[in-house]
Amino acid sequence: MDFKDYYKILAIERKASAEEIKRAYRKMAVKYHPDKNPDNKKAEEKFKEINEAYEVLGNPEKKKKYDELGENWNQYRQQGGKEGNFDWSKWQNPGAGQYRSYGSGESVFGNEDDFSDFFANIFGGRQGRRTAQVRKGQDYEAELHISLEEAYSGTTRQFETDGEKLQIKIKPGVEEGQTLRLKGKGGHGMNNGPRGDVFIHVHVKAHPHFERKKDDLFCDIPVELYTAVLGGKALIRTLRGSIRVDIGKETDSGKVLRLKGMGMPKFGKENEFGDLYAKVQILIPKNLSAEETELFEKLRKIKNPEKVQTG
């Protein structure tokens, strides 16, 4: 029987923490998972080896026993001992010959041949008939980037997992960072186990005109000086299209207009919307004609006669 170096298999140091062990296992399990390596015998064997390593190192009790065995094994080798003469009896599982479940909760063994002789003799579970474990398939994750317009109206995307083409429908109102789940569309399970899920992490791109806060939108609305002073109409852009809104007489720059129900749709709620808040930005007229300049001078004299400076 050959000694199995589980630390080497997971490419970690012997002083690795439980979290580091788990992280290394997950990384390698994703890389060599059968769903990603169909008909690849080498990857399949590597996947079994990785799971066996984590079955031991991911379980504190078995890890302690394995570390003690490892210290004795290394000491024996350093003293010039030959592999065939090492006394394994001290470390063999007295219950070998009966199946025992040592599940760490994450490893995937399909049948008794998934264990090495080393594992079977030290930890048991090899000899005798055992029932194949049913395991859920691997969950997949993907990043999805959409525009604010698509988040407003909803959209669809197509992608492929394990050779299967899938279509996901994004409901209106989806938010930045929101995660959508496609149940049963992930990796195939083992021994007729259920398929995993697909988790889509949505990212909504920044917009040059609108700022979004939850279901509300914020923007600026340019208003002509004359309109701000005398009142009238101003054109404002919304995600439903441009509309004209009333501007009251003597409106100050910076005033915020609330357009109820003109914000983002509320995700999963039909006909419910946030609001649009538009801040007035008064446009100062440029390139004045002589007549216009004269009129502004007259207006200034009327409004502030005591502040008018004479030449």
pLDDT in tens, 249-283: 999 999 999 999 999 999 999 999 999 999 999 99
Tell me the sheet residues that pair with 216: 213
229 or 116: which carries more pLDDT confidence?
A: 229
Domain coordinates in residue numbering, the chain: 6-123, 140-204, 215-303
SS3 (DSSP) at 36? coil
Q: Considering the entire predicted model, what is its pTM?
A: 0.55
Domain 215-303 has CATH 2.60.260.20: yes
Domains 140-204 and 215-303 in one fold: yes
In sequence order, which residues have a C-beta less than 8 Å from that of residue 264 and are 6 or more positions away?
Answer: 151, 152, 172, 173, 212, 214, 215, 216, 217, 239, 273, 274
CA 254, 258, 259, 264 torsion-angle sign: positive
Q: Report the pLDDT value the prediction gives residue 100, as an integer from 0 to 100.
A: 38
Q: Report the pLDDT value the prediction gives residue 281, as an integer from 0 to 100.
A: 95
Quote the CATH superfamily of domain 140-204: Urease metallochaperone UreE, N-terminal domain (2.60.260.20)
Q: Can you tell me the mean pLDDT for 47-54?
A: 88
Amino acid at 153: S
Q: Can you tell me the mean pLDDT for 218-234?
A: 95
Residue 71 has pLDDT above 60, yes or no: yes
Residue 81 has pLDDT above 70, yes or no: no
Report which secondary-structure segment, H or E, holds 202.
Answer: strand 198-204
CA distance 108 to 127: 18
Q: Please return the burial class of 99, using the count of CB atoms within 10 Å of its CB with bins 0-12, 13-18 and 19+.
A: middle
* Residue 174 pLDDT level (bands cut at 50, 70, 90): very high
What are the structure tokens assigned to 29, written together? 């399990």
The architecture (CATH level 2) of 6-123 comes to Orthogonal Bundle (1.10)
Residue 82 has pLDDT above 90, yes or no: no
Instruction: End-to-end CA distance of the chain: give it in Å, rounded.
Output: 108
| Nearest in space to 201 (alpha carbons), one of 168, 176, 170, 179 | 179
